[in-house]
Amino acid sequence: VLALATGAAVAQTGLIAFVGLAAPHLVRSIAPVPHARLVLLSAGMGGLLLMAADVLARWVIAPQELPVGVLTAVLGGSYLLWLMHRRSGRGGAL
């Protein structure tokens, strides 16, 4: 069910949705925070991740631009797959 919901979210919002999916997990891995603060920190982390991805997308093949959605899909998808693989040994899901 979660995989279908994730697929639907990405299909509706585009590849940048990976930032919204990866940011809370990244915040939780950096510092364990209560859920009330997780929302605010995840929003800030999502903004920072997207800004960094935009700068990197403009720099990688300068003077041309790589679409930021491609970069976020590659990096975000790789991070989520790594996270699922790491947690699968402990029996936990995302």
What does pLDDT average to over the chain? 82
What pLDDT was estimated at residue 52?
92
What is the residue-wise DSSP string for 34-64? -HHHHHHHHHHHHHHHHHHHHHHHHHHTTTS
Query: How confident is the model at residue 85, as a pLDDT?
Result: 86
Residue 58 tokens read as 């403009």
The proportion of the chain whose per-residue pLDDT surpasses 90, expressed as a percent, equals: 13
pTM, entire model: 0.68
Q: What pLDDT, on a 0 to 100 scale, did the predictor assign at position 76?
A: 80
The pLDDT of residue 94 is above 70: no
Mean pLDDT of all residues in 75-88: 82
